[in-house]
Chain A
Amino acid sequence: DVQLLESGGTLLRPGGSLRLSCAASGFTFSSHVMSWVRQAPGKGLEWVSSISDTGDNTFYADSLKGRFTISRDNSKNTLFLQMNSLRAEDTALYYCARNSWLSEKDFDYWGLGTLVTVSS
């Protein structure tokens, strides 16, 4: 079974940095585009970033303005999200999602999420 397990979420101050991880299992990780999607408390879904299967190509939401960096380690089946200069509006549940093999831009499996809270 496909499993995605996020970790790294915590409470931190504005301006801080954090790295999220997502451990993948149950599928060939290196064959799939992977993504991060976030959901602020009580709000809708917001795509954050995607990375190609090899890691050579990355894509970001415009609103992040270069503060976040997505990466992956295919030898360890792990996806990462480095988050810098965090703001209160980055407070959200961050989901790791597998992109489908067919289209590579839709999300067919999701983890349970890891909560990031940015507050002074």
Chain B
Amino acid sequence: DIQMSQSPSALSAAVGDRVTITCRASQGIINYLGWFQQKPGKPPKYLIYGASSLQSGVPSRFKGSGSGTDFTLTISSLQPEDFATYYCQQYHSYPLTFGQGTKVDIK
């Protein structure tokens, strides 16, 4: 099974900050990597697929990068609505697996 590891587990940031979240796969997954945003009491929202492609309607301040085993989600200028938990997910092969999540809260 492919294990996904995110870091950090949590971070505090201010509005306007640049935020970077890292996701590492236990083996190469090419670019079969997605990023989700989840707010309390809501289902996950798909942000990025293929490691770097934005889903329709997702603001351009979200950027994904990486390939192979190391991936990054960057929020260029954090907005109030971005405070949430973020998950990566590999879809290279079954079983499909998620990272443990990164909670972004207000500094």
B98 pairs with A47, CB closer than 8 A: yes
> Contacts of A110 on B, CB cut-off 8 Å?
43-45
B46 and A103: CB pair below 8 A?
A: no
Interface 9-mer from B16-24, B63-71, B76-84, B87-95: B87-95
Contact B46 A105 (CB under 8 A): no
Q: Is A84 an interface residue (CB 8 A)?
A: no
**Number of B residues, CB within 8 Å of A:** 24
CB distance from A104 to the nearest CB of B (A): 8
What is the CA–CA distance of A108 and B91 in the complex, to the nearest angstrom? 12
Partner of A44, one of B45, B50, B94, B98: B98
Measured CB to CB, the nearest residue on chain B to A100 is B49
Interface size on A, residues (CB 8 A): 23
A105 touches B32 (CB 8 A): yes
Query: Would you give the shortest CB distance from A94 to chain B, in whole angstroms?
Result: 11
Within A5-37, the residues touching B (CB, 8 Å) are 35
- Give the one of B34, B43, B55, B97 with max A CB within 10 A: B43
Measured CB to CB, the residues of B under 8 A from A are 1, 32, 34, 36, 38, 43-46, 49-50, 55, 87, 89, 91-92, 94-101
Q: Spell out A's residues near B (CB within 8 Å).
A: 35, 44-47, 50, 59-62, 95, 100, 102-103, 105-113
